[in-house]
Chain A
Amino acid sequence: MAIDLTDEVVAPAPQEPVISARDVRVWYGTTRGAIRAVDGVSFDLAPGETLGLVGESGCGKSTLGRGLMGLLPEGAKRDGEVLFRGRDIFSLSKKEAYQLRGRELGMIFQEPLTRLNPLMRISQHFEETIKQHEPDLSKDEIRDRALEVLRLMGIPPTRYRSYPHEFSGGMRQRLMIALALVLRPAFVVADEPTTALDVLVEAQIVQILNDLRRNFQTSLLLITHNVGIVAEACDRVAVMYAGRIVEQGRVAEVFKNPQHPYTRALMRSTISLTTTGLNYIPGAPPDLVDPPDGCRFHPRCTEAMNVCAVQNPVDIERPGGGRVECWLVGPDDQIPPGGKQSLKQEELTVVDEA
């Protein structure tokens, strides 16, 4: 499956992607069977680019992020190909993967306090992190490095020897970001980094994430359920539904001219200051142990056609750049005769609600 890179990336010259994921699948084992949390996802990420991954909960966003990092629970399996600077990180040995994490691949989590050791000073956290990968650095060099990152995160040098509990929630998240970035990884996954924070602090962190590409040349996969945050902090967006990326492209393009009905529904349901009416998406994301046939969104789609219920949509180039998977967009020549008639659906009630 190919993602074309013809849609202009922020960087002036088309660059080799840092991360190039092809047909990634991550399935969880449960007592009922496999949950196909991520089921055939492909995307590219250029250096210094931020890709926003949006969707409702239960669409596989977090699983994709953790899958890329190799942080999966027992009983989960992944396959596909993820090229990081030309190396397939899915086929690395445990030791190699460990070497790569932290130094080249970073992760920022939702709940910062649980990731910091309460008995260690911030300075010790930095020493610990840096020593893992660059054992030759002296304490002073570590301090210089750490203070520089902290400064970019807006944490004053006077706090370098404090303990985690002396920081507020927003400061802790800044700390986590600083710790993830101190080794200057080329690729960072941020999993809902602002969800636990207050509105103003959330906006501050979004601004920091927004400045990342300028300060660090880091490629960021920003996982969020908030369409507004994507609009503010990302270059490109990938909309995920039921384990698939249903639409991706440049943020301005996709949000101004959404092609997939799910993207449209998601944007409509977001309540912002310009909201004039309350809209929602009927139903709930499907059970990923046994996802619906055809397009996985068809049971909730108001524009579904006959073909949607029986045949998987084809991944095609989006008008205006990017990719989309929806029969409404095409390709028309693969739709069987009569397939374009609108689908008779069962009405969705509260019973099916998310």
Chain B
Amino acid sequence: MSSLVEVRDLSVYFELRGGTFARLFGRDTGLIKAVDGVTLDLRPGEVVGLVGESGSGKSTLGRALLGLVPATHGSIRLKDQDLADLNRRKLREIRQVVQMVFQDPNAALNPSMTVEEAVADALRVHGVRSSAERRTRVVEALERVGLSPVELFLSKYPRDLSGGQKQRVVLARAIVLDPELLVADEPVSMLDMSVRAKILQLMLDLKNDLGLTYVYITHDLATAKYFCDRIAIMYLGRVVEIGPTDEIFANPRHPYTKALLAAIPEPDPDKALPRDLPRGEIPDAAQPPLGCAFHPRCPEAVSACGWESRDLRALLEEHWMRADAAYDEEQNVIGDLEALDDPSTIATFGAGGSAAVRAILDRMRAEDTAEPLWSGVTSIQDSGSGVTVHFEPAPSPALRRAGGVDVACVLYPNEGTGRTSD
């Protein structure tokens, strides 16, 4: 079956302006790889979930599908047109085909436009001149999203509507142009628990009635499970696992997927279990971890994950959190931790002599022998008043076939088949 959208090796980078000084001198100080080499196909009528934490690039990918952010590399083909080749006018026309629903319904509507104006403006923009026709289509769209009796809503301003009603208006504005693809960016996460299900149900109904295709962006695997046919788990701009929803939930492979699943609070107190959660938070995208981006937080990490200097810093800090008493003394031996802040597989540090530094490292190692970082160390050499630790360099793992899904994790080496998503 042919695809509605083909995303090939798509990257979206943002230039990062640095601090005051860098800005004063007009220097750009970094590059954020919001989306980094994503390949994805959307088939007509399916619901694909993009799941990840904030900073995973899922929203940027969604916006790139509308041409709201330009692709840095790679291509997005929509109905055999490459978005990168289109001029601004053509790009605006494409938005009849692809529409978007936003996370915060309170912010997605112009506060100084009535419901009717808001929905009708989409038509106006796309050249529906007759106001009678606009009115008919607006009424039809509002009825479709359940805002009836329509007369009660037409002349209302967003501030007079409840959160659920606003999201319905946003949906009406999106469907009034008869699009084929709807990018829904966390459409229910700002809504009250009691209406989430209602809006999701409405979206499912719209999909069936209008033959829509959805990209459902969320951080919540629970709604994704209910809503999606296929799920792509994203982390720091990359897809780390992609496959059919059933398979992902029945048999999650990537440790990040497992972590996301474990993080969903379960209302049944019998099923609530103590969980092994990944440590830390999503790292700075301007300086992503070497190797696999998830390895610093990964509960299943191994030697080949791409260990580096910053992991050693984190480990030292963790060690001091446990060994409270030794902190002041050991801190003097280790010296400035900033020596470890530059991402590198060669870490040189220490201020109190090689032997003392080695002793601390040995103590840390003895504290937790299972810590996978040590298996990634190739050598520790004396250097000056400290040591140089060499780590085994490792590439970022590519998506590989594993069971019914594709996973980017060293724990799932290549099965030998192709790399594209199923």
Contacts and interface: CB of A to CB of B under 8 A. Distances in A.
Interface of A: 56-57, 147-148, 151, 154-159, 168-171, 198-204, 206-207, 225-232, 251-252, 255-256, 265-267, 269-275, 278-281, 284, 349-351, 353-354
28 contacts: A57-B192, A154-B321, A156-B321, A157-B317, A157-B327, A158-B317, A158-B320, A158-B331, A171-B281, A198-B54, A199-B260, A199-B264, A251-B269, A252-B270, A255-B267, A256-B268, A265-B194, A266-B193, A271-B197, A271-B200, A272-B264, A273-B249, A273-B264, A275-B222, A280-B201, A281-B194, A349-B148, A350-B164
Interface stretch (B1-9, B120-128, B271-279, B351-359): B271-279
B265 A203 contact: yes
Contacts of B269: 231, 251-252, 255-256
A353 B197 contact: no
Contacts of B53: 198-201
Contacts of A159: 317
Interface in B152-169: 152, 162-165, 168
B196 A271 contact: yes
B263 interface: yes
Nearest to A202: B263
B48 interface: no
B346 interface: no
A124 to B, nearest CB: 20
B411 interface: no
Given A169-B281, A256-B270, 16 more contacts: A151-B321, A170-B281, A198-B54, A198-B219, A198-B282, A203-B265, A206-B265, A207-B275, A229-B265, A252-B270, A255-B267, A273-B225, A280-B198, A281-B194, A354-B163, A354-B192
B65 interface: no
Given A158-B331, A200-B263, A284-B162, A270 B281 contact: no
B272 A231 contact: yes
B327 A228 contact: no
B220 interface: yes
B30 interface: no
Contacts of B316: 158
Interface string B205-229: 0000000000000011111011000
B11 to A, nearest CB: 23
A168 B223 CA distance: 26
B194 A280 contact: yes
Q: Chain B at the A interface: mostly helix, strand, loop or mixed?
A: helix
Q: Chain A at the B interface: mostly helix, strand, loop or mixed?
A: helix
Interface of B: 53-54, 146-149, 152, 162-165, 168, 192-198, 200-201, 219-223, 225-226, 249, 259-272, 275, 277-278, 281-282, 316-318, 320-322, 324, 327, 331, 337
Contacts of B318: 156
A354 B137 CA distance: 25
Nearest to A255: B269
A209 to B, nearest CB: 12
A274 B270 CA distance: 13
Given A57-B192, A207-B277, A273 B320 contact: no
Contacts of A269: 193-194, 196-197
Given A156-B318, A158-B320, A271-B222, A200 B270 contact: no
A353 B317 contact: no
Nearest to B272: A232
Contacts of A270: 193, 267
Given A147-B324, A171-B281, A198-B219, A351 B164 contact: no
Given A156-B320, A265-B194, A278-B197, A199 B263 contact: yes
A69 B270 CA distance: 33
Given A154-B321, A204-B277, A278-B200, A354 B261 contact: no
A154 B165 CA distance: 41
B126 to A, nearest CB: 27
A256 B275 CA distance: 21
A252 to B, nearest CB: 5
B254 to A, nearest CB: 14
B321 A228 contact: no
B220 A199 contact: yes
Contacts of A206: 265
Nearest to B283: A168
A24 to B, nearest CB: 24
Contacts of B149: 351
Nearest to B188: A271
Nearest to B219: A199
Contacts of A353: 162, 164-165, 195, 198
Contacts of B259: 200
Contacts of A57: 192
Contacts of B220: 199, 271
A178 B324 CA distance: 17
A272 B266 contact: yes
Contacts of B337: 158
B278 A200 contact: yes
Interface centre among B53, B194, B263, B277 (most CB of A within 10 A): B194
B188 to A, nearest CB: 9
A56 B192 contact: yes
